[in-house]
């Protein structure tokens, strides 16, 4: 939770409209459900959803791509850009500056933030 709060603080410095721990209710083929995103920033051309994990994990991508992106895309009617913020990397492909994610709406980014 401390890492998640640190990430949120940095995001709100860059984008004051960033919201944290936002809950969404939805209904899909499995019936009603709800989900909570770590951080969310809405822009005119896209939505950023940021999932925080101390160590990079495939589960974060599953959450972003299979749950958060469809819910947010439907709600905001714009592309959803997924960002996994992590302190410990498994792979070498990452962005150093989270603002790079704005260059590719609907993309997927790994942000190495040491916090």
Answer whether 0.85 is exceeded by the pTM.
yes
Interatomic CA distance for residues 94 and 30, integer angstroms: 34
Confidence of residue 1 (pLDDT cuts 50, 70, 90): confident
The total of other beta-carbon atoms located within 10 Å of residue 38's CB is 24
In this structure, which long-range contacts are made by residues 93-101, counting pairs with CB atoms below 8 Å and at least 24 apart in sequence? 98/10, 98/11, 98/14, 98/50, 99/14, 101/48
Domain 2-112 grouped into CATH 1.10.10: no
Contacts of 35 (CB under 8 A, 6+ apart): 23, 24, 26, 67, 68, 71
pLDDT in tens, 38-56: 999 999 999 999 999 999 9
Least confident of 40-44, 45-49, 70-74, 85-89: 85-89
Virtual CA dihedral for 85, 89, 45, 20, nearest 10 degrees? -10
Q: Where are the domains of the chain?
A: 2-112
Q: Residue range 25-31: average pLDDT?
A: 90
Mean pLDDT of the chain: 92
Confidence of residue 92 (pLDDT cuts 50, 70, 90): low
Strand order in the sheet with 46-55: 19-28, 31-43, 46-55, 80-88, 108-112
To the nearest whole percent, how much of the chain has pLDDT over 90?
72
Interatomic CA distance for residues 60 and 67, integer angstroms: 10
């Amino acid at each position: 939770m401390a890492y998640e709060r640190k990430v949120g603080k940095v995001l709100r410095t860059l984008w004051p409209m960033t919201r944290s721990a936002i809950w969404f209710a939805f209904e899909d083929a499995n019936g009603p459900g709800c989900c909570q995103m770590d951080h969310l920033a809405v822009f005119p051309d896209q939505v950023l959803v940021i999932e925080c994990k101390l160590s990079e994990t495939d589960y974060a991508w599953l959450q972003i791509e299979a749950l958060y992106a469809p819910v947010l895309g439907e709600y905001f009617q714009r592309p959803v850009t997924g960002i996994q913020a992590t302190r410990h990397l498994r792979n070498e492909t990452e962005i150093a500056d989270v603002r790079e994610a704005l260059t590719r709406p609907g993309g997927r980014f790994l942000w190495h933030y040491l916090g």
